[in-house]
Structure 1
Amino acid sequence: MPLAGDAERHALDHPWPSPEQGSVRFVVDDAFFRLEHDARLMLYRDLSERMLAVFRELTPPGGWLYALDPQHPCYRFHPHVPFEVGATLQEWTGLYTREHMELVERGIHPPSFDARWAMDVHPAGDPEHLFAPPDFHFVFAARYRVGNFDGLEAPGRGPIETETYELLGARLIAAVDRDPPELFRRARRLKSDE
């Protein structure tokens, strides 16, 4: 359900939980971006499935979450509305599979697909977007960044890509820790003071 006007502005300006209430970041570095394309999509699918389960656990039936992106349309996301049944890898992740891209490269244009998430759980190349309940007692933020970080770029090497997933709020952290996405298991885990 799209947000507009005052509802969107109010949500984008709402204060987040303080790090003292629980804060963890998962940093996915460029080793992830060197994986084969569809292997990355499988990790995104796993992330989407597990975070949907967490959002359903933390949201009462009939409840909703903000899905916010300062650069794009914002939404109310109703996690208990079933939308995932029968979704393909492309529909789950919102990204084309390698097979789809190879067909396009050969001049064959397969049918387009509709992504199941109005806003992806992974950053999808966006600087930042987040999911939070109306009272913001937890926040799940996904960020993407590309650049030369702290002089780490090696000669002859392209820019470094990173994705960071931040979890604010003790209930969200505990729910994710019970069955973490494989992407988080591969990432560097940082506490709020690191």
Structure 2
Amino acid sequence: MGPGVVVAGLTAGAVAVVALLAVQADGAQARAEAARAAAGLPAEATPSAAPAPSAPALPASSGTGYRIVYSVSEHRVWLVDPRKTPQLQASFAVTPGSTEPPPGNYSVYSRSAAGKGTDRRQIEHVVRFAQQGDVVFGFGAAVDGSTAPPDPGLRTGGIRSARADGQLLWDFAPTGTRVVVAP
């Protein structure tokens, strides 16, 4: 058996393995969607947070470095990672609580995978960064997908996002991540 036959055999084997892995990977998404449907869970959401060319520019006072920027006036969040290209990893609209955090620099001090908001709704991907008196300020998403404005009779500091955007923020913001609140 010559070296050409061995090389041809190895090449054919490698092509077969790559083809098998490609078929398995292609079916993994379909199997995951089928499993979610069988469990009665909603389909995997497509994040609405992909930075689009039309995404508003970062506020001038948003600082530098790895950070979450929240604009009180625009009710928008930006996720910024200067180690990546583009630096703007995501930008999305949010619904503020009935009380807004004062502009300034904060750090994520607490996270919860799930819980209940001050408006009594089930929430997930909670990322807390400030507290003022009895009002806790943080980002989160309602499990039911609601982003309706809060009851004005309640003092809430929860900043709500769509579920997919909440997942992006959760993945981006471990404890200690800087949060810049811009006017």
Relative contact order higher in (CA < 8 Å, ≥ 6 apart): 1
TM-score class normalised by the smaller sequence: under 0.3
Q: Which has the larger radius of gyration?
A: 2
Q: TM-score, normalised by structure 1?
A: 0.25
Answer 1 or 2: which has greater helix percent.
1
